[in-house]
Amino acid sequence: MSGPDAVSFLHGVLTNDVVSLAPGQWCYAAYLTPQGRMISDMRVLRRADHVALETEPQVIDALAARFDASIFTEQIRIVPGWHGTPSPDPSDSSSRPGAQSLVICGPTGREALASVLGHDAAVRRIGAHEFLELEHKSRQLVLVGHDDLDVPAVDVVGSTVLCDTLMDELRDAGVTTLGPMAIEALRIEAGTPRFGTDMTADTIPLEAGIEGRAISMTKGCYVGQEVIIRILHRGHGRVARRLVRLTVDSAVVPPMGSSLAVDGREVGVITSAAYSPRLDRAVALAYIHRDFAETGSTVAVMPAGARAAVTRC
C-alpha cells in the first residue's frame, strides 16, 4: 500500500498503532468489522516509501478489495502480491503473488543466516519487531524478526526461486531442516493462533487472546473499536469462550474439530493440533467455555476421552 495517505489510512482502520512505526519496524494488527469480528490479522511493515502488509494468502484479494472500498479522497495505491526487486530472469517468481517464506529459528538461527547472506551485523541484530531488506544474488529478501514460536526467529520472505536456493545454502552450512509439523508444534506450544485455522470471521480478538499484541489501547478510533472497548470496560474483558493451549495425555494427535467435554458436557472444540517431539505428546489450541479455561483445568478429548490439561491461556 503506497501513497501519501497510506499510513494514516491504515492507522484509522487497523487495531494497532501504525503511525508510530519507523521505517524498518513492524507491528501485528487486525482488521475488524464494525461488529468487532475479524476480517484478517496481519503484520504491518513500515517501509521507507510504502507499507507492506503480510497476511494469509487466502484473504489477500478480499482484503485488498475491502480496503479499496473504504478509500474515498485518500491518495492510496493498493497492489496485492509479492513485489520484490524486478529481475530479467523469466524463471524468477518475484512478481508472482504468494512469495515463499522460510522460518529460521533457534538460538543460533541469526548467526547461521548471517553466515550465508553476509551483512553480519545487520542480520544478527534484527529485533522481534524489526525487519531488514537486502539483496541476495541480485534479488530482494525481506527478513522479519519475531517471537511467535517462543524462540528467536526470523521469517525470510522472497521469490520462490531465491528461497529454494537459500534453503540449499543453509543446509550446506549445517542448518537442520524442520518439517511443517515441527513448526506447527512450536507455534501451538507458543500459543500463537493462525488466521483461517484458530481465528475466523466469527472470532472477536479478545476470544483469541491477541489483544495484547494486536490492539493499541492508547491510539484513536479504529473499525470495531466500540465493541472491543465495551467488552473490556463494561464486561471486564469477559468473553463466552477463550482460546487456550492444551497438553494431551497421549501422543495421538486429535483431529481438528474434535469436541472437548467435562462430565459429559461439551465445553469446547480443538482448532489445531500437532505432535510435540519435546513433550512426546500431542499439543493443541482450542476454544473452551470461559468457566473451564483456567490453567490447570482438565477436559476430555472426544470421542476417545483422552485427558487434556489447559497449560496456557
How much is the pLDDT for 85?
41
pLDDT at residue 91 greater than cutoff 80: no
147: Cβ contacts below 8 Å, ≥ 6 apart: 128, 153
pLDDT digits (tens, 9 = 90+) for 232-291: 988 888 899 999 999 999 999 999 999 999 999 999 999 999 999 999 999 999 999 999
How much is the pLDDT for 299?
98
Give the C-alpha distances (Å, rounded to integers) separating 158 from 167, 260, 266: 12, 40, 44
How much is the pLDDT for 222?
97
pLDDT digits (tens, 9 = 90+) for 24-60: 999 999 999 999 999 999 999 999 889 999 999 899 9
Mean pLDDT of the chain, nearest integer: 91
148 pLDDT band, cuts 50/70/90, is: very high
**Cα–Cα distance measured from residue 141 to residue 101, given in angstroms and rounded to the nearest whole number:** 10
Q: pTM of the predicted model, to two decimals?
A: 0.92
pLDDT digits (tens, 9 = 90+) for 168-200: 999 999 999 998 899 999 999 999 999 999 999
Share of the chain above pLDDT 90, in %: 80
142: Cβ contacts below 8 Å, ≥ 6 apart: 45, 52, 131, 132, 133, 156, 157, 158
Q: Which residue segments constitute the domains of the chain, with CATH numbers given?
A: 1-85+194-237 (3.30.1360.120), 100-186 (3.30.70.1400), 240-313 (2.40.30.110)
β 51-54/38-46 pair status? antiparallel
**Cα–Cα distance measured from residue 140 to residue 136, given in angstroms and rounded to the nearest whole number:** 6
How much is the pLDDT for 223?
96
84 pLDDT band, cuts 50/70/90, is: low
**Cα–Cα distance measured from residue 163 to residue 184, given in angstroms and rounded to the nearest whole number:** 20
pLDDT at residue 221 greater than cutoff 90: yes
Range scoring the smallest mean pLDDT among 61-75, 112-126, 204-218, 280-294: 112-126
pLDDT at residue 119 greater than cutoff 80: no
Over residues 139-155, mean pLDDT? 94
pLDDT at residue 306 greater than cutoff 70: yes
